[in-house]
């Protein structure tokens, strides 16, 4: 387990979000089929999430499949759906034994029955776990998340003065998951691409040129070091 005597528990972010970019580019650069990059990417998420929890991070979120990803080829979309379903089944026992809660954030519309079944099983099995939470943004869009929350609130017909940021926060996906402290995006792109827009308003943003499958636990340690040296003022 990594231990830095200069980092206090207060300097470790509570919630780290990862934008898993560069799976296909990594595969091409390593002479593999592009779909193999997605497989390696999910395997790496498992390792990075476990190391994050060991470092004291309580919530880990990952952008796994965006609503815009439906525009990709039918072959790639089908592969991703099967891959995520298999990963939920394969990693469920391990996360459950380690007391990690799994939360899937995103729309269920358009998902195959077997995918929804795997999601429901993972969430139900780990519902009461308290050693950490991994949130998977799947069939997710940041603007859609806010719109869905607003639609739910409108259906309640509240007095307009009662509609506050706290109320909206209680209706977004996985409302028990707090704001993000640190967002890490791999593969050189420098944008959020709709990732957790509501929660990321005061997040520190770290961009690295490494493709996600090549992002290591050492890279995570360096990211946490970088975060610990940031001065967070929250508008003060």
**Phi, psi dihedrals of residue 33, rounded to the nearest 5°:** -65, 145
For the chain, what's the residue count? Answer: 236
Say what the pLDDT of residue 10 is.
Answer: 63
Say what the pLDDT of residue 232 is.
Answer: 78
Note down pLDDT in tens along the chain; length 236 residues. Answer: 334 444 555 699 999 999 999 999 999 999 999 999 999 999 999 999 999 999 999 999 999 999 999 999 999 999 999 999 999 999 999 999 999 999 999 999 999 999 999 999 999 999 999 999 999 999 999 999 999 999 999 999 999 999 999 999 999 999 999 999 999 999 999 999 999 999 999 999 999 999 999 999 999 999 999 999 998 777 76
Say what the pLDDT of residue 7 is.
Answer: 53
The DSSP secondary-structure symbol of 113 reads: H
Say what the pLDDT of residue 231 is.
Answer: 81
- As annotated, the active-site residues are 21, 69
Q: Counting Cβ atoms within 10 Å, is residue 234 exposed (0-12), middle (13-18) or buried (19+)?
A: exposed
DSSP H helical segments within the chain, as ranges? Answer: 23-29, 34-54, 74-97, 113-126, 142-155, 165-169, 217-228
The DSSP secondary-structure symbol of 193 reads: T
Cβ neighbours of residue 192 closer than 8 Å, sequence gap 6 or more: 19, 142, 183, 185, 200, 205
HEC profile for 20-81?
A: CCCHHHHHHHCCCCHHHHHHHHHHHHHHHHHHHHHCCCCEEEEEEEEHHHHHCCHHHHHHHH
What domains lie within the chain, and their CATH numbers? 12-141+179-227 (3.40.1180.10)
């Amino acid at each position: 387990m990594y231990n830095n005597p200069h980092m206090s528990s207060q300097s470790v972010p509570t919630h780290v979000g990862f934008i898993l970019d560069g799976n296909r580019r990594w595969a091409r650069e390593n002479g593999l089929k592009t779909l193999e990059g997605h497989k390696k990417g999910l395997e790496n998420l498992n390792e990075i999430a476990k190391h994050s929890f060991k470092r004291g991070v309580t919530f880990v979120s990952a952008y796994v499949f965006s609503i815009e990803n439906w525009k990709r080829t039918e072959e790639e979309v089908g592969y991703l759906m099967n891959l995520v379903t298999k990963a939920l089944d394969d990693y469920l026992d391990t996360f459950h034994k380690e007391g990690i809660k799994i939360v899937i954030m995103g729309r269920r519309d358009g998902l195959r029955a077997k995918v929804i079944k795997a999601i429901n099983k993972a969430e139900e099995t780990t519902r009461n776990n308290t050693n950490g939470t991994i949130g998977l943004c799947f069939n997710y869009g940041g603007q859609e998340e806010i719109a869905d929350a607003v639609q739910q609130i409108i259906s309640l017909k509240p007095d307009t003065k009662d509609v506050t940021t706290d109320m909206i926060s209680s209706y977004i996906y996985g409302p028990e998951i707090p704001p993000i402290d640190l967002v890490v995006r791999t593969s050189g792109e420098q944008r959020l691409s709709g990732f957790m827009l509501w929660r990321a308003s005061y997040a520190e943003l770290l961009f690295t040129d490494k493709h996600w499958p090549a992002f290591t636990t050492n890279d995570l340690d360096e990211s946490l070091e970088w975060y610990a040296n940031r001065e967070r003022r929250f508008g003060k």
